[in-house]
Chains A and B, each alone.
Chain A
């Protein structure tokens, strides 16, 4: 990873070191070639998101390049790419998936270097590009309560507040023993508070469900007063219901989605233009207003007043792909 980051940095640095006019001319050629290619095929694990479609439609309108989407769950996207490539079928250009799957696929050699892209300069720390992948957007996790069931005075303010015995049997949660938001939450809480946090949370007997959207509705209907970990962007679908997202004082666990260019992409120039478009502040603003944390500078400040306080919170931490399987096993041991 370090080698790739350094290479990515060097590539971006080398591009920046060149005279601006030469860079513009080079990029002009990419744009010209991309328009001739006429389309870009995106394999994404972000299913049915209207915000992504807004950004893709803006790309189509700006360049006249058609975006074709193949949406499936993370492991399905990964297996399709793997089997297609091993059979010599190179159909996709861009891969959009969570950072753990992207890391595994990088190890498997499913991607090719994306080449220099002008908007890499927009990326904001702690997010960074490598020569293989660039950050796309960030899913942030917080708590969600049913406002009719939890009085303002009883609202949890810190993550440790959910360990209070009054929440025993009242927490609905994504499963920590499976890849996804639950696993991110588990790892970040473990890294921050240690195993003791999880031992105490297990004693609260949280009810697990992997049907995330339905779980959120169940809390809204009053089956449970508290849901964890709540993906902030899902709040868009719940506005008007008696629910409230709360980012605890310690901050929010997060997981990054990455973009990569698939090996032997049939439309490599259109793919580069797509990456560049994704990192435009206007594109990132669409994601930010939807509840995703942006990965480029100067965007959070421009978001709507309602979402800004939630996004402008401390990022607590994220998953570390090499430790993922060990963490899932530990979660299985603690939450039997």
Chain B
């Protein structure tokens, strides 16, 4: 692929207006200050409220005393066991998901496996299905008593012992993997595509085998992206709630988030002090991980997209390409066909999981169609999703540039500020936003408006945006950027016309990830919405709690259709762009 870079025209003249001159002189400092203030408001401010909550016997606004009771409670056997469970479960699922995702990303991006374009869309689908629905579907498929898989197993073998039991550590890991595998896949697949194959060719010509080339060159060059994906996924695993609450809690497997949930909702007097302290303990663990990642990658070069032209190449697998095809199809069948098939089927029957002909109905589709609240929420969610994802990617692109491409003072602070929201479990951070926004002066119209939701979504999405874009930036040689600057392009021009232009497939992936993250976000939404600003996740919760899983299935299917449309548009653009280069 030859990388055609349009070097911007030089700026005509230096600014003459005094304000413009002052801005040019102090622009960087002003811009950095603005960025720090914005990120500080989005992440440090709610976090500070939570920190206060962890040190105070009562939540903000109530009389109480400062003490360390919340942190002292961490040392209970129950909490320590939950912490160990959390780390172990997340580590196992992240390692397994990473291996599977990298294998599938390589298959899709760098081999001649048949149907790669379609496979790429199909593999990512599980990520976009609401977890509550896949959990219900797997509970029906893999419960030890009457699960479909176990009934089939017993009928086939005549054995009485069930083959699988989803109410176990394995069940929790498996359910988490359905989200982390496509998440990591989305992260790494474009990095595989953007890599200069000449490096691999050099390896092969030097006598290395396919495997050695993959491991020593391809995988090694993917390190920034894969470690970013690993860390993001590991942290997300530590914050995962649905998998543990569905499949772990009933058999006594507790994790940090279920403990936090218990502290807030299961006691007569909600214990915010313990909940926030537990959140900070989890955050400290994650922070250690980030330091390790930084040490691992420090000072190494991962440049693969340079100003020199290169053309795409694929590894020819021969007969093995059908095996590669089978791996991807098996993943799709297990994580999409089985649960989504059940959703689709159930949406046409009166009751989820009861497939009798006399129960066939279109009533659930009619109910959703005629539900005013759903349409209001749909409109709000689309608006917030499009705006939120766009603003977040713009912010993430700037933050990533400052933190990875410059040596400006204050960039480490910016990096940390942008990371903070990802490291605090969502249900705790949601409380931080509620406390933070509600206690703002009334003249700042955020609380009780769509702004509250938008700002929370931007804060929650920024870490993903930063990781996605910084992973992509890390692959772009500095000489292209310098060339642009030498030709007189300004900072913004270089960012927009060089970095964004070259990293835009990653931007597109980040946008989709954030858009659907917004569609699913519940913890902050439920605490920030007001009667006119309902969003889809809140409507789904209402349907679920009022015993209408069939209508939730309909919403899940609508979301899946949206995903297919978005992904199709995105991949069509990528193809079109590659063919024009």
Contact = CB atoms under 8 A, between A and B. Distances in A.
Contact of A178 (B262, B352, B546): B262
24 contacts: A47-B541, A48-B543, A48-B544, A72-B526, A80-B527, A82-B59, A82-B62, A83-B61, A178-B262, A179-B268, A209-B250, A211-B246, A213-B547, A220-B351, A221-B354, A222-B145, A223-B145, A223-B146, A234-B547, A237-B546, A237-B548, A241-B354, A324-B268, A325-B267
A141 to B, nearest CB: 16
B545 A70 contact: no
Contact of B268 (A71, A209, A321): A321
A237 B544 CA distance: 12
Interface in A56-89: 68-76, 78-80, 82-84, 86-89
B519 to A, nearest CB: 19
A216 B442 contact: no
Interface string A170-189: 00000101111000000000
A196 to B, nearest CB: 24
Interface residues of A, number: 57
Interface residues of B, number: 53
Contacts of B139: 214, 218
B265 interface: yes
Given A211-B246, A221-B353, A49 B266 contact: no
A152 interface: no
B448 interface: yes
Given A104-B268, A178-B266, 9 more contacts: A69-B531, A70-B530, A70-B531, A75-B270, A76-B527, A91-B448, A179-B267, A213-B549, A221-B140
A240 interface: yes
A213 B544 contact: yes
B251 to A, nearest CB: 8
Contacts of B543: 48
Interface stretch (B405-413, B415-423, B430-438): B430-438
A328 interface: yes
A325 B269 CA distance: 8
A79 B59 contact: yes
A49 B549 contact: no
Nearest to A214: B136
B546 to A, nearest CB: 3
A75 B265 contact: yes
Nearest to B431: A79
B442 A79 contact: no
A181 B523 CA distance: 23
B238 interface: no
A53 to B, nearest CB: 9
A83 B250 contact: no
B545 A241 contact: no
Nearest to B270: A75
A213 B136 CA distance: 11
Given A237-B547, A240-B350, A83 B541 contact: no
B57 to A, nearest CB: 14
Contact of A89 (B267, B442, B546): B442
B400 interface: no
A179 B262 CA distance: 9
Contact of A76 (B145, B262, B526): B526
A60 to B, nearest CB: 13
A216 B160 CA distance: 25
Contacts of A325: 267-269
B143 A89 contact: no
A150 interface: no
Contacts of A75: 264-265, 270
Interface in A216-233: 216-218, 220-224
A19 interface: no
Most buried by A among B264, B269, B442: B269
Contacts of B262: 178
Contacts of A78: 270
B183 interface: no
Contacts of B354: 220-221, 241
Nearest to B268: A324
B266 A87 contact: no
Nearest to A222: B146
A69 B265 CA distance: 21
Please provide the 6 A-B residue pairs with the shortest distance between their CB atoms, ordered closest to farther.
Answer: A86-B61, A48-B546, A48-B542, A178-B266, A237-B547, A68-B531
A50 interface: yes
B438 A217 contact: no
A47 B541 CA distance: 8
Contacts of B62: 82, 86, 108
Contacts of A108: 62
Contacts of B351: 217, 220, 240-241
A294 B532 CA distance: 31
A203 interface: no
A208 interface: yes
A73 B265 contact: yes
A222 B150 CA distance: 14
Nearest to B263: A75
A208 B547 contact: no
A100 interface: yes
Contacts of B530: 70, 91
B250 A207 contact: yes
A186 B434 CA distance: 33
Nearest to A237: B547
A217 B531 contact: no
A180 B549 CA distance: 21
A210 interface: yes
A276 B279 CA distance: 44
Interface in B516-569: 526-527, 529-532, 538, 541-549
Given A178-B262, A179-B265, A89 B545 contact: no
Contact of B249 (A209, A237, A241): A209
Interface in A259-293: none
B48 interface: no
A82 B532 CA distance: 21
B80 interface: no
Contact of A210 (B249, B270, B544, B548): B249
A70 B549 CA distance: 21
A92 to B, nearest CB: 10
Contacts of A210: 245, 249, 266
B447 interface: yes
A41 interface: yes
B60 interface: yes
A271 to B, nearest CB: 15
Contact of B59 (A83, A240, A328): A83
A47 B266 contact: no
B334 interface: no
Contacts of A104: 268-269
B353 A217 contact: yes
Given A82-B61, A86-B61, A179 B266 contact: yes
Contacts of B352: 217
A237 B249 CA distance: 25
Given A71-B542, A89-B447, A328-B267, A83 B439 contact: yes
Contacts of A218: 139, 143
Contacts of B542: 47-48, 71
A131 B531 CA distance: 28
A83 B435 contact: yes
B359 interface: yes
Nearest to A108: B62
Contacts of B548: 48, 237
Contacts of B268: 100, 104, 179, 321, 324-325, 328
